[in-house]
Amino acid sequence: MALYSDKVMDHFRNPRNVGVIENADGVGEAGNPVCGDIMKIYLKIDDDVISDVKFETFGCGSAIASSSMATELIKGKPVEEAAALTNKAVTEALDGLPIHKLHCSVLAEEAIKLALKDYYDKNGIPYDPEEFKGLVDCASCAENH
């Protein structure tokens, strides 16, 4: 059995939604200091629907594939549905990741949640802080170092 699924290899070799959205409605950056992977997600939201999403990822093939798949899973979806995206859903959509690479799907989930939190904060939209408990925005980490 191959270490990586065909879907992981496809999203690594041909990532979808790569880039930056200028004046994004929400931006979230998540990282793992142990492996060095960093994901930045940009959201454009119109009428409570994610009309566009882009990402920049510095990391391994699994990190790039997880970012690409996560953006595909939320593009065109209502904000509420995007907020419910889990790392498990990203992993399943990629037909699995090796156990030592599961943290990549976690980073994708966290970056999306941080981008949504940024959107809520910028627009004064109330939310349950518990939904974002434990998330650390890497952008603020970089500013403090």
Between CA 52 and CA 104 the distance in angstroms is: 22
Give 129's contacts (C-beta < 8 A, 6+ positions apart): none
Integer angstrom CA distances of residue 45 from 23, 51, 70, 82, 107? 11, 5, 16, 11, 21
Q: Which of 35, 60, 138, 141 is catalytic?
A: 35
CB atoms within 10 A of CB 131: 13
Q: Which of 60, 104, 138, 141 is catalytic?
A: 104
- Cβ(60)–Cβ(85) below 8 Å: no
- Indicate if 138 belongs to the active site: no
DSSP for residue 13 = H
Strands (E), the chain: 26-31, 38-46, 49-58
- Indicate if 60 belongs to the active site: no
Residue 81's SS3 state is: helix
Task: Enumerate the active-site residues.
Answer: 35, 104
